[in-house]
C-alpha cells in the first residue's frame, strides 16, 4: 500500500498495524484531536495506526469495532495527525 506525498508527488510505502502500548505516547489529543487512550479499556474495539515503512512516526489512526454476531465492522473514530491536515480543508464545488 502507498501514499502520495503532495509536495514531491512521490509514492511512499506504508503499513497499517495495531497500536501498541508505547504508541499511545504519540497519540496525544493535541496531535490527533482525541484522547485515544480511552479505547484501551474497550475489548471490542481495536486501534490501528498508519505509518511510513521504516518510520516510527504515526500519520493516522483508526478505531474499529468488530461485531461478529452482526457480520459487520464499525469505524468508531478516524483521524490524521495535525501536520497531515491541509490548509484547504474543504473542496469548492
CB within 8 Å of 5: residues ≥ 6 apart: 11, 12
CB within 8 Å of 45: residues ≥ 6 apart: 39, 63, 64, 65, 76
Question: What confidence category does residue 88 fall into, taking pLDDT thresholds of 50, 70 and 90?
Answer: low
Using DSSP, state whether 63 is helix, strand or coil.
strand
Range with the poorest average pLDDT among 20-34, 39-53, 75-89? 75-89
DSSP strands (E only) in 1-93: 2-4, 11-18, 45-52, 58-67, 72-80
Model confidence pLDDT, tens digit, residues 48-63 = 999 999 999 999 999 9
The model's pTM: 0.84
Amino acid at each position: 500500500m502507498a501514499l502520495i506525498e503532495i509536495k514531491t508527488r512521490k509514492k511512499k510505502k506504508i503499513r497499517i498495524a495495531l497500536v501498541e502500548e508505547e504508541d499511545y505516547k504519540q497519540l496525544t489529543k493535541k496531535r490527533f484531536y482525541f484522547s485515544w487512550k480511552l479505547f484501551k479499556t474497550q475489548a471490542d474495539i481495536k486501534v490501528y495506526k498508519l505509518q511510513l515503512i521504516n518510520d516510527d512516526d504515526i500519520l493516522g489512526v483508526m478505531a474499529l469495532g468488530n461485531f461478529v454476531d452482526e457480520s459487520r465492522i464499525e469505524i468508531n473514530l478516524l483521524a490524521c495527525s495535525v501536520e497531515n491536515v491541509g490548509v484547504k480543508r474543504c473542496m469548492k464545488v
